């Protein structure tokens, strides 16, 4: 039997990192098993569904490289893939349940009828007397959680009085109609799964295999990641210049661990190793620093041509667009030292303009550990002016200045770097000086020392 998984987002205008991870695990499992990955849009709540909201999801999925086999803009034999277009099916399936005596109308809405002894009881949560049912517990054989039993104890709504079907109903009807074999979703759905099992059984349909994956929690503070948390939205990483394969790689690490012990690895290797049984049971806390570290490693490992392509676009967006022949050597020097594309403009901007920003924090740090940076530059200037402008020549100049003023040669490097770039860090010292050229370096150093 070929596997069929699905990701069924509701277009809210955001692509939450937790949703992306759910989509990712469904995609990974489909790819691992050679199955089909379906994208279904749960847009039953008409109020807040817009084209832009849909785009956020589709663009985000494609950006992460999670191409779906069936769904919007991909087609497929089990469509349409928008729930807003499947109303006839839902009404027909409601009638099926009604004919079996498992659905009934009350207060203008249609309800699912549980099987079991009924009685009235005061409900502490609803704060009123309600009709409870002693139904047999639904049994879920979850690939991640193991055997879970939970009993529903109240009839629940299938169709609202306004004629719209509710999530639990459309979700199950579609999963049956679309032949979904594995339901991989967040643990927040585990308690609701008993409703879904009741529906599958009422329809006489076989249960899919369930895998409820752990949630992603806030970095600090209580609860799961929410839209308002920093780093919670896929589109945020895209805007900041994160590499999609790095974001995807990090997401794999929340709730799953590669068997080979690597943390940064190609997606093909992840697909080959990915098993639902290996998904963790405990919730994972989001760590932006580790994500940044994965992004950094991925960035450094990029083929230089690919790095150059992305870097050029990033710089252009910041208004820095030098000719390719001037840019290429700078980018070659920058790639091994850069932590994120996001920082590229200030990392290399001073190569292309004399109007660059000086970092006050960098100056403060320099002064704190090395004395007066301008004084060091004044000491080094005469020998630099006489130096041959290559690494040995500059080293000799620094050594001469050091000998004359009772300093270590290294004491001059940070002040000189700051003098020519306004930064505390950057490409290798010698690369910076060579790429800027002697004249520009000396001019900047004189200005700084004055």
Partner RNA sequence: GCCCCCUUCGUCUAGCCCGGUCAGGACACCUCGCUUUCACUGAGGUAACUGGGGUUCGAAUCCCCAAGGGGGCGCCA
Question: Given candidates 126, 128, 268, 406, which one binds RNA under the rule CB under 7 A?
Answer: 126
**Segment contacting RNA by CB under 7 A, of 87-95, 102-110, 200-208, 239-247:** 102-110
Give the count of beta carbons closer than 10 Å to the beta carbon of residue 122. 10
Rounded CA separation 204/227 (Å):
38
Between 73 and 149, name the residue whose CB sits nearer to RNA.
149
With binding defined as CB under 7 A, does residue 109 bind RNA? yes
Q: How far is the CB of 117 from RNA (least distance, A)?
A: 17
Q: Is 206 in the site for RNA (CB under 7 A)?
A: no
**Choice between 3 and 293, CB closer to RNA:** 293
- H or E segment to which residue 284 belongs: strand 284-285
Q: Is it true that the peptide bond before 335 is cis, omega within 30 degrees of 0?
A: no
In this structure, are residues 17 and 56 in contact, taking their beta carbons and an 8 Å threshold? no
Q: Which positions from 322 to 341 touch RNA by CB under 7 A, shown as an x/- string? A: --------------xxxx--
Indicate the residue among 2 and 163 with the shorter CB distance to RNA. Answer: 163
Answer for which of 91, 95, 100, 280 binds RNA (CB under 7 A) is 280
Q: CB nearer to RNA: give 29 or 350.
A: 350
Exactly one of 61, 184, 232, 254 binds RNA (CB under 7 A); that residue is 254
Nearest Cα residue to 251 out of 301, 213, 211? 213
* Candidate residues 282, 375, 386, 447; the one interacting with RNA per rule CB under 7 A: 282
CB of 354 to RNA, least distance (A): 19
Alpha carbons 107 and 125: distance in angstroms, whole number: 21
Burial class for 270, CB neighbours closer than 10 Å (0-12, 13-18, 19+): buried
Of these, 3, 84, 283, 367, which contacts RNA (CB under 7 A)? 283
| Residue placing its CB nearer to RNA in the complex, 35 or 252 | 252
Instruction: Give the strand pairing for 216-217 and 209-213.
Output: unpaired
Place of tokens 């080293």: 395
Using CB under 7 A as the binding rule, whether residue 281 contacts RNA is answered as yes
Q: Evaluate whether 4 touches 182 at the Cβ level (below 8 Å).
A: yes
Size of the site for RNA (CB under 7 A): 78
Which listed range, 27-35, 60-68, 173-181, 277-285, lies at the site for RNA (CB under 7 A)? 277-285
| CA-CA-CA-CA dihedral for 406, 369, 362, 382, to nearest 10 | -10
Residues that are catalytic: 227
R_g of the chain computed on alpha carbons: 30
Nearer to RNA, 282 or 386 (CB): 282
Q: For the CB of residue 202, give the shortest distance to RNA in the complex, in Å.
A: 18
Report which secondary-structure segment, H or E, holds 217.
strand 216-217
User: What angle in degrees, to the nearest 10, is found between the helix axes of 324-334 and 304-317?
Assistant: 110
The DSSP secondary-structure symbol of 221 reads: S
Pair 68, 39: CB distance under 8 Å:
yes
Verify binding: residue 314, RNA, rule CB under 7 A.
Answer: no
Question: For the chain, how long is the longest CA-to-CA vector?
Answer: 99
H or E, element range at 61: helix 51-63
Give the footprint of RNA on residues 393-412 (CB under 7 A).
Answer: 395, 408-410
Using DSSP's 3-state secondary structure scheme, residue 417 falls into: helix
Token pair 């809210």 is found at: 12
Per-residue string for binding with RNA, 56-95, x by CB under 7 A? ----------------------------------------
209 binds RNA (CB under 7 A): no
Side-chain half-sphere exposure of 122, counting CA atoms within 13 A: 2
Footprint on residues 162-181 left by RNA (CB under 7 A): 162, 164, 166-168
Stretch that binds RNA, among 29-37, 69-77, 112-120, 183-191 (CB under 7 A): 183-191
Q: Which is nearer to RNA, 41 or 381 (CB)?
A: 41
Among the listed residues 58, 401, 414, 435, the single contact to RNA using CB under 7 A:
414
Binding test (CB under 7 A) with RNA, winner from 4, 31, 86, 145: 145
- Judged by CB under 7 A, does residue 263 bind RNA? yes
Neighbours of 423 (CB within 10 A): 21
Instruction: Indicate which single residue of 34, 204, 222, 360 sits in contact with RNA (rule: CB under 7 A).
Output: 222
Q: At what angle do helices 360-370 and 373-385 cross, to 10 degrees?
A: 90
Residue of 188, 275, 364, 385 that binds RNA (CB under 7 A): 188
Sole binder of RNA in the list 3, 84, 209, 257 (CB under 7 A): 257
Residue 361 binds RNA (CB under 7 A): no
Q: Could you tell me which residues come within 8 angstroms of residue 295 by beta carbon, excluding any fewer than 6 positions away? A: 242, 243, 246, 247, 250, 339, 340
115 or 121: whose CB is closer to RNA? Answer: 121
């Amino acid at each position: 039997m070929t596997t069929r998984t699905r990701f069924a987002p509701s277009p809210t205008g955001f692509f939450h990192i937790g949703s992306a991870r759910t989509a990712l695990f469904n995609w990974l499992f489909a790819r691992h098993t050679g199955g089909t990955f379906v994208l279904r849009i749960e847009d039953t709540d008409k109020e807040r569904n817009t084209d832009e909201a849909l785009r956020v999801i589709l663009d985000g999925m494609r950006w992460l490289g999670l191409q779906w086999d069936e769904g919007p803009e991909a087609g497929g034999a089990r469509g349409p893939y928008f729930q807003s277009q499947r109303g006839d099916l839902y009404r027909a399936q409601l009638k099926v349940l009604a004919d079996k005596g498992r659905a009934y109308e009350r207060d203008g809405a249609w309800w699912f009828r549980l099987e079991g002894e009924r009685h009235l009881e005061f409900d502490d949560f609803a704060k009123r007397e309600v009709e409870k049912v002693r139904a047999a517990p639904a049994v879920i054989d979850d690939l991640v959680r193991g055997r879970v039993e939970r009993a529903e104890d109240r009839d629940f709504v299938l169709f609202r009085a306004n004629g719209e079907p509710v999530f639990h109903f459309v979700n199950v009807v579609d999963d049956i109609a679309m032949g979904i074999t594995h339901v991989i979703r967040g643990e927040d759905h585990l308690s609701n799964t008993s409703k879904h099992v009741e529906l599958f059984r009422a329809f006489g349909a076989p249960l899919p295999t369930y895998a409820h994956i752990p949630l992603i929690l806030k970095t600090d503070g209580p609860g799961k990641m929410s839209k308002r948390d920093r780093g919670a939205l896929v589109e945020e990483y895209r805007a900041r210049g994160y590499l999609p394969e790095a974001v995807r790689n990090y997401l794999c690490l929340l709730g799953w661990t590669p068997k080979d012990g690597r943390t940064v690895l190609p997606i093909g290797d992840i697909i080959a190793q990915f098993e639902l049984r290996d998904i963790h049971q405990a919730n994972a806390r989001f760590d932006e620093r580790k994500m940044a570290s994965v992004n950094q490693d991925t960035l450094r490992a990029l083929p230089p041509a690919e790095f150059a392509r992305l870097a050029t676009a990033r710089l252009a967006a910041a208004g820095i667009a030098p000719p390719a022949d001037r840019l290429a050597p700078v980018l070659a020097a920058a790639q091994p030292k850069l932590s994120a594309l996001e920082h590229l403009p200030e990392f290399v901007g001073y190569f292309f303009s004399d109007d660059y920003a000086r970092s006050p924090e960098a100056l403060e740090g320099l002064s704190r550990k090395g004395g007066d940076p301008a004084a060091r530059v004044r000491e080094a200037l005469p020998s630099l002016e006489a130096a041959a402008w290559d690494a040995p020549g500059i080293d000799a100049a620094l050594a001469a200045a050091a000998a004359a003023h009772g300093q270590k040669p290294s004491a001059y490097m940070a002040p000189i770097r700051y003098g020519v770039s306004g930064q505390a860090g950057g490409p290798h010292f010698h690369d910076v000086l060579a790429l800027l050229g002697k004249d520009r370096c000396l001019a900047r150093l004189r200005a700084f020392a004055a």
